Chains A and B, each alone.
Chain A
Amino acid sequence: MEKPQYNTDIVKSFVHWSVLWGLVAVLVGVIVSIQMTNPEMNFPPYLTFGRLRPIHTNAGIFGWGVGVIFATFFYIVQRLCKVRLWSDKLAKFQLYFFNTTITASAVTLILGFTTSKEYHEMEWPIDLMIIILWVTFAINIIMTIIKRKEEQMYISLWYMLAAIVGVAILFLVNSAAVPVSFFKSYSAFAGTNDANVQWWFGHNAVAMVLTAPPLAMFYYFLPKSTGVPIYSHKISIISFWSLIFMYLWTGAHHLLWTPVPDWIQTLAMAFSIMLIAPSWGSVINGYLSMKGQWHQMRENYLVKFLILGITFYGLQTLQGPMQSIRSFSAFIHFTDWVPAHIHMGTMGWVSMVCFASIYFLVPRIYGKELYSIRLANLHFWLALTGQLLWSISLWIAGVLQAGMWNAMNPDGSLTYTFMETMVEMYPYWWVRTIGGTLFMLGVIVFIYNLFKTAHNGEKTASLAATAEGRA
């Protein structure tokens, strides 16, 4: 092999920044959680719940989620293609532009410049920045794949490519708007059409950002961590194609019982249920790849994070289809049940896989052993307990709330006023704050461990090779 080959610096930088944005996301998460129980913690005009919540969601999905996607994809793509990244300069530009975009998003959201469309709140000038960012990323990944030295493209690369086109299409359509000024625009679509477009976007942002890329990471880092290949190539192929085909039909499961035409709702319901198959294809493939390796669950912290992550993914993709059934949606839609679903996905599945991927790469890009495996295990337990407290408390809250909203007296009147149902939520929201705080402590332990690894970790020869980009 030639001398230093792979670009590891860019991976390092993206790891640093994504971890930082991750901390911001969970910190703001804890703050908005506290604001729901303690409204006096709103500081108008900038620091109110209505303005901070979108900062939490966007920092979580785009700062943390997409940041880790950039870091890991740059790491993975070079290794799977056995070539250096197509353009170092472009990647460097992407790094600066990524941080500029995320900062600009946070600042404008705090100032109240928002479109109100979920996960697409930023106003049109920032949409343009996001488009530039994504095109830059896409070109670099696609060109690297084109000049690859390994003919066969591994599973992770399929998911990467699908996510790249998927996000592009979704984002472009949902961005369509007519500007009034630099900070204000009106959606190109109105009312029911706007709702339908938004949730076609919203649900597929889940598919193309919170599902496909973490699966790409999972398919790469699981075999790397266990030393055993993925169980079945055939299951991988079938799951991949059916997943990206089916997801796009399901957006209207966010709009059941609304004025959106019934046939769209029915299609969404049917396809959501069918989605169990491709989702569980990956779950089963992951589990079967552990055959004879389950002892690693005890010995290898990376495997713990990954297998727990895929387990949460499995639960998420059973719960999601259930929520897509009209009768069940009638009950839990709009309640606190839904945030519990969301956070099992974002904290349980996405974040667990991101943690594992970063734990895998940091020793390899710094050429040093991880500073402390004990701290990594502590992080694991904090994350797991935090997430379970978060979701379980709100599932209970959601069912209670739904039950009270629907309770009727024998004479056909409502049993509870809205306020009687709302005050019942406070204890559960408190438990959520505690769970979130544990999770956040986990993130702090994680960052400390990474920092110590970079500065005080033990150097080893085998890792030095990867760090210099030679393996």
Chain B
Amino acid sequence: MWEKKPILLLVLATAAIMVGTTVTMIVPFMSVNTDADKIASVKPYTPIQQEGRDLYIREGCNNCHTQTVRPLVSEVLRYGEYSKSGEFVYDRPFLWGSKRTGPDLARVGGKYPDAWHYKHMDSPRAMIPGSNMPDYGWYKKNPLDPKMIQRKMEVLGFPYTTEQISALADKNEMDAIVAYLQKLGSDIPWRKAAKTTIVGELKNPFVGNKSAIEAGEELFENNCEACHGENLEGGIGPELTDIDMDDSDLYQIIYNGIDDGGMPAFGSLGTNKVWQLVNFLKSGDSD
């Protein structure tokens, strides 16, 4: 029957297509982005953050970076608290991505100080040898267009002040992308909640162990040098040459980081490696 009637075939095919479409694409609008998944602390983007987001889209950062942390043990350890639907209500378009050539960025906000991002965007490989992220130093040469940004805010219906707009006049694209990166995933106070409170007495298992110091040195090169310098002379982070802290305080700083101070937490390295770092820093051997 339908094999002889093209219009009938078209109608039937449309009907077949619309069943799954209705159930899995149309019906979800009734529950997603409603009060059910709302999070009060999630705020719309400010003008400079929104512009940074549009620059992220323009450069196709989403081709290498994802922005959604799945509720899997290793993933939460590596990137932070898993993503919630309510955190994305102001995202047009969504930027979850499909390929992690670089690390997930859903929770990168607050992980590093601004200075780290300026340096990293300028030349990723100067900081992280082996990275394949392109250089974006040229962002600094491009000024922002406050009029256009104001228009974007109007279209999106996000609140803004005239001061925020006029402040854009002497900012460049690099400022915008960094502002955006620092907002990512930080609307919910997950960092504080993720801090491990260490119970009981901390005891250094490697006192006087030479190979632990060497292992610590290598860990330092891979994880800390970018901020504390090749010879512990400091840079983005402070100089670490003579530390007079006891082992357990040092351990706590490395394990949990320093809130709002720009020192990331390295607990995911594991207890042993953190102790090796402690022993290296206390050894006073900086070359």
Give chain A's interface residues, CB within 8 Å of chain B: 35-39, 42, 44-45, 48-51, 53-54, 112-118, 142, 145-146, 151-153, 157-158, 161-162, 164-166, 169, 173, 178, 180-181, 184, 186-198, 200, 241, 244-252, 254-255, 257-261, 264, 267-268, 271, 330, 333-335, 338-339, 405-409, 411-414, 417-420, 422-423
Choice from B31, B74, B151 contacting A180 with Cβ under 8 Å: B151
Query: Are the CB atoms of B4 and A116 closer together than 8 Å?
Result: no
A247–B32 contact, CB under 8 A? Answer: no
Task: Assess whether B85 is interfacial by the CB under 8 Å rule.
Answer: yes
Across the interface, do A146 and B59 meet the contact criterion of CB distance under 8 Å?
no
Distance of A258 Cα from B101 Cα, bound (Å):
18
Which residues on A sit within 8 Å (CB–CB) of B155? Answer: 178, 180, 186
Closest partner residue, chain A, to B93 (CB atom): A187
Verify if B132 is at the interface (C-beta below 8 Å from A): yes
Contact yes or no, B93 A186, CB < 8 A = yes
Chain B residue nearest to A248 in the complex (CB): B20
A413–B271 CB distance below 8 A: yes
B77 near A153: Cβ-Cβ < 8 Å: no
Contact of B98 among A247, A264, A334 (CB under 8 A): A334
A420 and B98 CA atoms in complex are apart in Å by 21
Q: Interface extent on B, as a size class?
A: 35 or more
Contacts A248-B20, A335-B100, A414-B268 given: A50-B64 contact, CB under 8 Å?
Answer: yes
Given the interface contacts A195-B94, A408-B74, does A53 sit within 8 Å of B270 by beta carbon?
A: no
Query: Chain B interface (Cβ within 8 Å of chain A)?
Result: 3-4, 6-7, 9-10, 13-14, 16-21, 23-25, 28-29, 31-33, 37, 54, 57-64, 66, 68, 70-75, 77-78, 83-85, 87-103, 124-125, 128, 130-136, 138, 148, 151-152, 155-156, 222-223, 267-273
**Alpha-carbon separation in the docked complex, A44 to B29 (Å):** 40
Instruction: Please list the 4 inter-chain residue pairs (A to B) with the smallest Cβ-Cβ separation, ordered nearest first.
Output: A413-B270, A50-B60, A191-B88, A248-B20
Whether A192 contacts B93 by the Cβ 8 Å rule is no
| Contact status A117-B93, CB under 8 Å | yes
Which one of B17, B54, B57, B66 has the greatest number of beta carbons of chain A within 10 Å? B17
Chain B neighbourhood of A173, CB < 8 A? 25
Give CA–CA (A153, B1) in the complex, Å.
10
A161 touches B6 (CB 8 A): yes
B6 touches A411 (CB 8 A): no
A157 to B101, CA, bound (A): 41
- Smallest CB separation, A77 vs chain B (Å): 11
Q: For residue A87, give the distance in angstroms from its CB to the closest CB of chain B.
A: 17
List B contacts of A251 (CB < 8 A).
24-25
**A197 to B133 CA separation, bound complex (whole angstroms):** 29
Query: When the two chains form the complex, which single residue of A44, A187, A200 contacts B24, counting CB atoms closer than 8 Å?
Result: A200
Residues of A within 8 A of B268 (CB): 413-414
- Complex CA–CA separation, A23 to B279 (angstroms): 57
B88 touches A259 (CB 8 A): yes
**Knowing A145-B6, A153-B9 touch, does A39 contact B133 (C-beta < 8 A)?**
yes
Closest-by-CB residue of A relative to B36 is A261
Write the nearest CB–CB distance from A135 to chain B, whole angstroms.
14
CB distance A267 to B89 under 8 Å? no
Given contacts A48-B59, A406-B74, A419-B222, contact A186 B10 (CB under 8 A): no
**CA distance in complex: A118, B62 (Å):** 10
Inter-chain contacts of B6 with A (CB < 8 A): 142, 145-146, 153, 157, 161
Q: B223, A417: Cβ atoms under 8 Å?
A: yes
Inside 8 A of B32's CB, which chain A residues have their CB?
A: 191-193, 196, 260-261
Tell me the bound Cα distance from A338 to B70 in angstroms.
17
CA distance A379 to B259 in the complex (A): 60
Residue from A39, A264, A333 within 8 A of B28 (CB atoms): A264
Tell me the bound Cα distance from A166 to B20 in angstroms.
12
Closest chain-A Cβ to B31's Cβ sits at a distance in Å of: 6
The chain A residue with its CB closest to the CB of B130 is A423
Identity of the chain B residue whose Cβ is nearest the Cβ of A406 in the assembled complex: B74
Smallest beta-carbon distance A215→chain B, Å:
14
A114 neighbours in B (Cβ, 8 Å) = 57-58, 60
Q: Verify B4–A54 contact, CB threshold 8 A.
A: no
Whether B17 and A165, one on each chain, are in contact in the complex, defined by CB atoms closer than 8 angstroms, is yes
Q: CA–CA, A189 to B66, complex, Å?
A: 19
Which residues does chain A contribute within 8 Å of B85, judged by CB atoms?
191-192, 259-260
A residues less than 8 Å from B70 (CB atoms): 257-258, 330, 333
Collect the chain B residues with CB atoms within 8 Å of residue A414's CB: 74, 77-78, 268-270
A158 touching B83 by the CB < 8 A rule? no
CA distance A53 to B64 in the complex (A): 10
The answer to whether B33 touches A166, judged by C-beta atoms less than 8 angstroms apart, is no
- Chain B residue at minimal CB-CB distance from A48: B134
Instruction: Give the one of B32, B33, B75 with max A CB within 10 A.
Output: B32
B272 close to A411 (CB less than 8 A): yes
Instruction: State whether B100 touches A51 (Cβ < 8 A).
Output: no
Out of A333, A334, A335, A419, which one reaches B128, CB within 8 Å? Answer: A419
Give, as a whole number of angstroms, the nearest-CB distance from B45 to chain A.
Answer: 12
Q: Which residue of B lies closest to A267 (CB)?
A: B24
List the B side residues contacting A49 at CB < 8 Å: 60, 63-64, 134
In whole angstroms, how far apart are the Cα atoms of A55 and B135 in the complex? 20
Note all chain A residues with C-beta closer than 8 A to B4: 151-153
Residue from A142, A197, A261, A406 in contact with B10 in the complex, judged by beta carbons closer than 8 Å: A142
A413–B272 alpha-carbon span in the complex (Å) = 10
**Is B83 a contact of A50 with CB atoms below 8 Å?**
no
Query: What B residues does A412 contact at CB under 8 A?
Result: 270
Is there contact, CB below 8 Å, between B57 and A39? no
Beyond the given A161-B10, A181-B151, please list 6 additional residue pairs across the A-B interface where CB-CB is below 8 A: A196-B32, A258-B70, A267-B24, A419-B130, A419-B222, A422-B102
Least CB distance, A253 to chain B, in whole angstroms = 11
Closest to B137 in A: A44
Q: Is the CB of A194 within 8 A of B23?
A: no
Q: B132 — which chain A residues lie within 8 A by C-beta?
A: 35-39, 422
Query: Shortest beta-carbon distance, B18 to chain A, in Å?
Result: 8
B68: contacting residue among A48, A51, A193, A258, CB under 8 A? A258
Q: 10 A-B contacts, Cβ less than 8 Å apart?
A: A39-B125, A50-B63, A153-B6, A180-B148, A190-B94, A246-B20, A261-B31, A271-B20, A407-B74, A413-B273
Quote the shortest CB–CB distance from A463 to chain B (angstroms): 31
Q: Which residues of A contact B223 (CB under 8 A)?
A: 417
State whether A196 touches B148 (Cβ < 8 A): no
Is A44 within 8 A of B138, CB to CB? yes
Q: Which of A145, A158, A258, A261 has the most CB of B within 10 A?
A: A258
Q: How far is A412 from B4 in the complex, measured between Cα atoms in Å?
A: 64
